[in-house]
Structure 1
C-alpha cells in the first residue's frame, strides 16, 4: 500500500471508529508501519483540512470530529470525472479554490480503484478557460460578498482608464462566458457591472452594505438561473 492509499484508508478507519477513536499503536499495527509514521500521516491529514482530534494519556487516541466528517460517498468513475471537469472548467468562477478543495475531499473518500479510474479519465478532458483573476483579488471580493461589506476596487475600463470605486457587492454573474461582479457603485450612485478580469485591485472593508435588493438589478436573462442545485 502506497502512502496515498494509506492516507485514504487511515481516513476511513478513523471515520468508522467514531467517537471512540483509535490509538496510534492500534493504527500502526493495522497498517504495518511505525507509530512515528502514523503520527506523521495524521499530521498530513490535519494539514490538508481533515478535522482530526487527538487525546493524550490513558484512554487517549485519534479520531475525527463529527461535524467535519463526510457520510460514506459512493460515486461511479464517470460521476467523479464530472466533478473534476466541472471544477476545472470553472477556474474563473468565484469560490473556485474552495470548489477544488471540496472535490479533493470527495475524491479522498472514494475507493482507490474508482479514484484511479476517475483520475485517468480526467486526462481525456481538456479545458481552456483563459487566465483567472488573481487569487488575492478574488479572495477580497468573495469575503466582501460573504460578509456583505463594501469592497474598494481599482477598475480598468475598455480604454484602459482606471478608477477607484467603493462597491456594495450584490451578485456574481456569468454572462456570455465572462464573470462579473454586479453591485452598487458609490462613486456613480447606481448599480454597475464589473468584469472580474478588469479589476486590478480589491480590498474588503468593514463598512456594511446598505442592503440594496437583488431585485433592483432587474430581470435576469431568459436562460439565466441561480447556482442553487
Structure 2
C-alpha cells in the first residue's frame, strides 16, 4: 500500500473506531508498518487539517474527532479489487448475484483514472472456479509480506522473495510480478524469476519475507504464462446483464 492510500485508510480506520480510538501499535499491526511510520502519518494528517487527537496514558491512542463529517463513499483501486477478489473467491456463496451487482456499483463510483487502474490490476488476478481442483487439506494461506507483494504487482516493481520451495530449501529470488492466481486451493504469485530467467509459480504460503525494490518490471503479456483453463477468469468485473 503506498502512502497516499495508507493515509486515506488510516483516516477511515479511525472513523470506524469511533470513541474507542486505536493505538499506534494496533495501527502498525493492521497496516504492516512500523510504529514510527504510523506516527509520521498521523502527524501528516493532522497538519493537513484532519481532526485527530492523541491521548496518552493507559488506554490512550488516536481518535478522530466526532465532529468530522462523513466523506462521500469512495474506494481506492486496490480496495475495489479487494472486494472483487473476495467475491470471486466465494462465487458459490449465498447472495453471490447481489454481491456481483454491488461490485459493479463499487466500480461505478470510481473516477475514470481509478477505474482504469483497478481494471488493469484486476486483469492480473485470476481465480480458477472449478471446485474439483481443491485437493484435500488445501488451505488458502496468506504470504508473509503479502502487502509488499500486492504493492509490487500494483506498481509494477521487482520484489525480492525469501522462499521455501517444495523440497524445503530456502532461496532468495528477484521476481517481476505478472499476476496472482487462486487455483488448486492455493494462491500463487506468478512472475518472471530473474535467477531462473523464466516464469515461475511461487505459492503464497511458502513466502517467508518480501522486500520491495525501486526497479521497474519489464512489461510482459499474460500469454508468457501459458494457456488458462476454461474455468479460470480474472476478477476484473464484467457488466451484469440487465443491471440498471
Higher relative contact order (CA 8 A, sep 6+): 2
* Structure with larger Rg: 1
